[in-house]
Structure formats: C-alpha cells, structure tokens
C-alpha cells in the first residue's frame, strides 16, 4: 500500500513543516485492496471502528475525513 500526501493547493508536502501540515486539509492518494467508510463510535475514553473479520492480521491505515 502506498500513500502520497499533498496540501490543498496540490504541492508535495516534503517541503512543508509538520506545523504547516497540521493546519488545513491534506489530500491523500492511497493504493490498497479494499475501502470501508464508517463512523467512529464511543468506547470508554476512546473511539472504536469495527472492521470485517477477514481483515484480521492485515495492516490498515485510518484517515479522518471530517
């Protein structure tokens, strides 16, 4: 799985500081096998997302979109 991130204007982020990248939105280009859109639910003092059992043991990446 590969990820490429760019800022809102589309320039590569390798020239941006980490502070600049935390402000505003960032575009991610992700290559993978499957995608699921879910809402995070409360779970004690944290959040939880349930994924299909056939994803167990696989690597996933989570991107907050709103």
Q: What is the pLDDT of residues 20-56, one digit of tens each?
A: 556 788 899 989 999 999 999 999 999 999 999 999 9
Residue 38's pLDDT is: 95
Q: What is the DSSP string of 33-50?
A: S-------EEETTEEE--
Question: Which of the residue ranges 2-6, 14-18, 37-41, 61-65 has the most confident prediction, judged by mean pLDDT?
Answer: 37-41
Domain ranges of the chain: 2-55
**Alpha-carbon dihedral angle through residues 56, 57, 58, 64, given to the nearest 10 degrees:** 60
Note whether 7 and 27 are within 8 A (CB): yes
Q: Which residue has the higher pLDDT, 3 or 51?
A: 51
Q: Indicate yes or no: pTM above 0.75.
A: no
pLDDT tier at 6, thresholds 50, 70, 90? low
Which helix H or strand E contains 18, and what residues bound it? helix 18-22
Asked if 20 and 46 count as a contact pair (C-beta separation under 8 A), the reply is no
**DSSP helix/strand/coil, 51:** coil
């Amino acid at each position: 799985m590969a990820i490429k991130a760019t800022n809102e204007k589309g320039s590569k982020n390798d020239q941006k500081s980490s502070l600049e990248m935390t402000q505003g939105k960032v575009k991610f280009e992700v290559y993978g096998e499957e995608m699921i859109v879910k809402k995070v639910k409360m779970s004690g003092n944290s959040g939880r997302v349930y994924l299909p059992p056939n994803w167990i043991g696989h690597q996933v990446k989570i991107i907050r979109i709103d």
